[in-house]
Amino acid sequence: MKKFRIICILAALGLFSVYSCEDELNTEVLNAFSEDLVYSDANQVERLVYPVYGSTETWAINKSIWWGRRYNIENGSYEAKFNFSDLDRLNLRGNGWTPLNVGDFDGKWEDFYLYIREIDQFFSLIDDSEANEKDPDAVAVLKAEMRFLRANLYFKLTRLYGGVPVLEKALGLEDDFNIPRTPYEDAVDFIVSELDLAVADLPETRPASEFGRATKIAALAVKSRVLLYAASDLHDPGLMPQTQNTELYSYSKASKWQDAADAAKEVIDFYGSKDLISVNNATDYQNLFLSVNEDIIFARPFGTLYDFGTDVNSLPGQTQTPPGYGGWGLSSPTHNFALEFDMADGSATIGDSSTYDPDNPSDNREMRFYANLLYQGAEFRGRPVDYAVSRNHPTIPHGLDSRRGTLAGSEGNPLHWSKTGYNIRKFQDEATPLVTDAVPGRPYILYRLAEMYLNYAEAQAELGNDAEARTYLNKITARALKPAVTASGEELKEAIKHERRLELCFEGHNFFDERRWMNPERLGFDVRGLLWTKERDGSLTSREWTVVTRPWYDKQYYLPIPQSEIEKAPALLQNAFYE
């Protein structure tokens, strides 16, 4: 045992709540380290970096909330709804978000700033440390990782709240905590500058043993997404809905689309503009999300290192499988979104020339429909998915995945039946015997090459470089086994958005994409579903219905600043329309 004097300043209650303590603690070296000891050796400093990777995205929308651990942000997007007794876990219905109630988004502000506090504290000590003096090259890489993680945190804050206070140093007891919000454009500049500094010292690649740690290309990929978001309509001074305190939301650089294009191209050039990994069918495509591959730029590994590790209660097998298989099916893809998937010949599901058959909605659809969705009749884990209720039970039994499934022998909770007639197949490892089996090698993909091609195509289309945009858009359609896009102008821009919805579905993009594109019709809408019935003669029929109605309010382009933070720091301005 060894005695240490530990002086701590913890932002335990949020950005502007500070707790200080000075105490004598008897503790083992493995459980707590004196400041001097930790910063005396690069290997010990590295141990400070590891936990901060917990700030990256995960399967859970909010790991601090029981329900939030078990589903992701797709349930607040056009893609899906939360599926358990129609609970409004994200508080999107009724009057929507308030400064006192944002549903399972609660605590995001505090959690992100706690990580930033850790990083700022790291930077306040590392330069003068013994570790830096003894091994400056190793420490330079660790500093770059921390810059990368801090930039990613500030990006996540800005896409949720707009401009936020940017802190470049750890605050002490004598500092003023009544800090105003940084203008959005200045915050973006800071994020980009941090990423540029990180790029200078991060390695280009990592050995397999370091999968999930930052690289140069990962930092460039974050930069690409940051600048794409900043260039979008939501931040255009002439289009954004806010009329007061506009500096908290606006990005007015004339070069914004060129900057976004250049950032994406820097990543693309590293890969030599290669084609995406080819697939022959839906199963091949599905497998791209189950293990590490060359198109993944940055992903979060799931072992014992972060958060809940391989706890099956927070991983897709248990949380997204239909109830008849023992799953919870907590995210129900909307029929609205399912209709976004084209027909196999590349034609849309809507329009006079469409071959879509509403009586057989899953027939002749494009490959990604089958890879990403579970639907009535989909072969899954040894039997067809069956959402249908029978008019002649038990002669013709109810479907095991239906609301009457328990009468047919299902052990699943009927409250988990999909009210939309779909479940998520993406990320499901069907090779495991049980949905409760862990899959340690499966990554949670945060950045991948397909996104960079879509980022670049979107920026080039906005610049009017249609041929260049089509070249990279068609790398997406080719891998999806679809015809090439030949559109130009506004039609091309819509085609890029369409492909982005499909290629990146359930990966945490659509919630933000529809906002930055300012598409209220895909933010507030009637959530549609399919109800399946087994008729007395054994035939199968369906009818479309409105599951719930999700209203839209312009205030919900951003979350409100938590009321508790406003009260502690009056210099913080509340977001528009929440006053």
pLDDT digit of tens for each residue in the chain (579 aa)? 333 333 333 333 344 443 333 332 232 333 445 677 889 999 999 999 999 999 998 888 998 898 998 999 999 999 999 999 889 999 999 999 999 999 999 999 999 999 999 999 999 999 999 999 999 999 999 999 999 999 999 999 999 999 999 998 887 766 778 899 999 999 999 999 999 999 999 999 999 989 999 999 999 999 999 999 999 999 999 999 999 999 999 999 999 999 999 999 999 999 999 999 999 999 999 999 999 999 999 998 876 555 555 666 678 889 999 999 999 999 999 999 999 999 999 999 998 878 999 999 999 999 999 999 999 999 999 999 999 999 999 999 999 999 999 999 988 888 899 999 999 999 999 998 888 887 777 899 999 999 999 999 999 999 999 999 999 999 999 999 999 999 999 999 999 999 999 999 999 999 999 999 999 999 999 999 999 999 999 999 999 999 999 999 999 999 999 999 999 999 999 999 998
- For residue 493, the tally of other CB atoms under 10 A from its CB is 18
Q: Is 352 exposed, middle or buried (0-12, 13-18, 19+ CB in 10 A)?
A: exposed
Contact 416, 330 (CB under 8 A): yes
CA-based R_g, the chain, Å: 25
Q: Which residues pair with 444 in a beta bridge?
A: 300
**Amino acid, res. 532:** W
Q: How far is CA 346 from CA 47, 248, 506, 526, in A?
A: 50, 41, 21, 26
Q: How far is CA 528 from CA 79, 421, 545, in A?
A: 11, 9, 6
| Run of H or E residues at 49 | helix 42-49
User: From CA 154, how far away is CA 458, in angstroms rounded?
Assistant: 23
- What's 20's DSSP letter? E
| DSSP assignments along 374-412, one per residue | EETT-EETTEE---PEESSTTTSPPPTTSTTGGGGT--S
Q: Which domains, from first to last, does the chain contain?
A: 2-251+559-568 (1.25.40.390)
Structure tokens at 390: 């029978």
| Run of H or E residues at 544 | strand 540-550
| Run of H or E residues at 364 | none
User: From CA 407, how far away is CA 394, in angstroms rounded?
Assistant: 8
Place of tokens 């039994």: 397
Which of these, 311, 435, 441, lies nearest to 380 by C-alpha position?
435
Q: Return left, alpha or beta for 577; rule: phi > 0 is left, psi -120 to 50 is alpha, else beta.
A: left
